[in-house]
Amino acid sequence: MGYMKYFLFLLLVLSTILMNVVVGQEKSNRIVINADLGKETISKFIYGHFAEHLGYCIYGGIYVGEDSNIPNTRGIRNDVVDALKEIAPSVMRWPGGCFADTYHWKDGVGPKDQRPSIVNVTWGGVTEDNSFGTHEFLDFCELIGAEPYICANVGSGTVQEAAEWVEYVNSSAKSPMTELRKKNGREEPWKVKYWAVGNESWGCGGNMTPDYYADLYKRFSTYMRAGRPYRVASGGTDPDFEWTETVLKKTQKFRNLIQGYSFHYYTFCHGWGDKTAATKFTENDWFHTMKNTLVMEERLERHIALMDEYDTENRIGLIADEWGNWFTVEPGTNPGFLYQQNTVRDAVTASLYLNIFNNHARRVKMANIAQFVNVLQAMILTKDEQIVKTPTFYVFKMYKVHHDATLLPIDVSCDDYKYEDMTLPSISASASKDKDGVIHVSLCNIDMNKSRSVEIDLRGTDKLSKSSGEIITSAKENDFNDFGQPEKVNIQKFTSFSVKNNILKVDLPSKSVVTIELNK
Ligand code: AHR
C-alpha cells in the first residue's frame, strides 16, 4: 500500500511536469519559402514616396531656392537629392494630399516673380508663394530618378483645368498648353504616366458621396487623356468598402478610364486623433502601434476581394498612396505642419507595412509612404543646412533588394507577442528572388522585449551556400537619429544566423528588422 501511494504521488508529479511543458510551450517559429513557385513581381513602385505642400516638406525640405546658402541645384537641396539616391526612390506623389484639391497648377508655372502668393488653407494657413510648381517638381523627379505621380484637383478645380494640366505636361502636339510650356522653358513633354483623379474625395477633397465621386471621376478621366495616362481613382476612408464597391461598379464598363484605385491607411497609436508622442511611449503604446499597423493587412485583403470581384482580370492596380505612422507633432512645432521624429518603432512598422505590400504584390502596384521629408513618417528630417536620415530611411534602403524582384510564396508560423492579455503574431516576413537568382528574406520581430529563434525552410532551390545579413535595431525602442549627434539607428552587419542544407536559422533580436541574402 505504501508503494502504491508512492507510485501515485510520482505519477502526479510527472504528469504535472508534462502538463507544464505542453501548456507553457511556445509555438516554434517556422517559415517555409518556396523558391521555385514565385509568380508575381514586387513592383518597385511599392517603395514610393509622397511630397505635399505641407509644413517643411516642400519648402525647406526639398526646395530652398537658388539664392539659398544651402548647396542646391536650381533651388533643390543637393544633400536631400544625394540621400534619396541611396534608397532608389521609385515614384514621388505630389502636390498632395488635401493640398492637391485646393491647388491650381497655373499659379505655379511661368516667371516666379509673377506667380501669385496664396494661403495654404489646409496646412497651417501659411503663405504659399508657388515658387515650387510643375517644372520644379518634375526637375526634382529627374534629379532623383523617380517617376512622378501627379494628383489633379477634383475638389475645387475644373475638368478643363485638369485636362489642360495633363496636356501641358504630356503633349507634343501644337496647342495653347504646349506653347505655354515651351514659353516657360520646357520644349519636350515630360510624359508623366501616373495621375490621381482627386484625393480623399470623401473628405478634404470635396466631401462627396461615392456615387457623386464615381460620376465625377468618369468625367475628369475622360478628358485627362494626353499621353494615355494611368489614372487612379480616389478611395474612401480606409474602412469604407461601400465607396470602393460603388466606384468599381460604376466604372466597370469604362475600362479605358480607370487603371488604378487608391486607398489610404495611417497608424494612429490608439486610434484617430491620438496624441502619443513619436519618441516618448510605453510598451502599451508600442503594442497598439503594432496592432493598428497590422490592420492594414485586413483592409488590403478586403479591398483586393472586391477588386477581384469587379476586375476579374486583375487589371486595376491597388495603390496605397498614403500610409505610415501619424503621431503627435514635436513639442514647440506648428500643429498644422505634422513634424514628428522617427524611432526604432517606425522602422519596425515600416517593415511590417512593406512585408504586407510585398506579399500582396499581385494587386498592390504602388504604395507611397507619407511623407518623404519633415512630415509624418519621414525618410529625412532637415534643420537649416543639416539633415538626418531616419530609421525609416534605413528600412527603405535595406528593402531596395525587393524592387522588381519575384515575390516568393511564404508561410509564417510563429509564437505570439504577448502584452497583458493581448497577443499579436511576433514575426512578419517577406521574400523575393532577384533577376540574378539571389534570394532575400526580410524579417521583423515586433516584440519590444523578447528575441526569437526562427527556422526557415528554403524549398525548391539548389544548395544555398553564400549568405550575408543586415539588421536595423538599437538599444532602446525609442532611439532615434538627431541633428548633430552620431546616428543611433541605421543598418548594421548581422551575423546571428546559419545556413545548412537550405535551412536558415536566425536569432532575431527583439524590435529588429533583418534582411538575409542567400546565393548559390
Ligand atoms: O498626409 C497628410 C494628409 O493625410 C493628406 O494631405 C491627406 O490626404 C491625408 O488625410
What DSSP letter does each residue of 241-263 carry, written as one string? HHHHHHHHHHHTT-GGG-SEEEE
* Beta bridge partners of residue 298, listed in sequence order: none
Residue of minimum CA distance from atom 9 in ligand 1: 97
pLDDT digits (tens, 9 = 90+) for 191-206: 999 999 999 999 999 9
**Top mutation candidate among 58, 102, 204 for ligand 1, by most atoms within 8 Å of CB:** 204
Nearest CA to 177 out of 120, 123, 222, 134 is that of 134
Which residues belong to the active site?
A: 200, 322
Task: Measure 27 CA to ligand 1 centroid, in angstroms.
Answer: 40
Return the pLDDT at 13: 44
Mean pLDDT for the chain? 94
Ligand 1 atom closest to 123 (CA): 6
Is 48 touching ligand 1 by the criterion CB < 6 Å? no
Is 51 touching ligand 1 by the criterion CB < 6 Å? no
Task: Measure 261 CA to ligand 1 centroid, in angstroms.
Answer: 17
Task: Measure 457 CA to ligand 1 centroid, in angstroms.
Answer: 41
The CA distance from 274 to 293, in Å, is 14
Q: Using the predicted structure, report yes or no on whether residue 15 has a pLDDT greater than 70.
A: no
Is 238 touching ligand 1 by the criterion CB < 6 Å? no
Is 200 touching ligand 1 by the criterion CB < 6 Å? yes
Q: What domains, with CATH codes, occur in the chain?
A: 25-39+408-519 (2.60.40.1180), 44-404 (3.20.20.80)
Return the pLDDT at 12: 46
Ligand 1 atom closest to 322 (CA): 1
**Least confident residue range of 25-34, 67-76, 129-138:** 25-34
Residue of minimum CA distance from atom 2 in ligand 1: 97
pTM for the full predicted model: 0.94
The CA distance from 406 to 429, in Å, is 15
Is 321 touching ligand 1 by the criterion CB < 6 Å? no
Nearest CA to 270 out of 294, 240, 299, 292 is that of 292
pLDDT digits (tens, 9 = 90+) for 436-485: 999 999 999 999 999 999 999 999 999 998 999 999 999 999 999 999 99
**Top mutation candidate among 322, 338, 368, 371 for ligand 1, by most atoms within 8 Å of CB:** 322
Is 234 touching ligand 1 by the criterion CB < 6 Å? no
Is 128 touching ligand 1 by the criterion CB < 6 Å? no
Would you say 478 and 281 are in contact if contact means Cβ atoms under 8 Å apart? yes
The CA distance from 452 to 470, in Å, is 16
Q: Using the predicted structure, report yes or no on whether residue 343 has a pLDDT greater than 80.
A: yes
Task: Measure 204 CA to ligand 1 centroid, in angstroms.
Answer: 9
Return the pLDDT at 273: 79
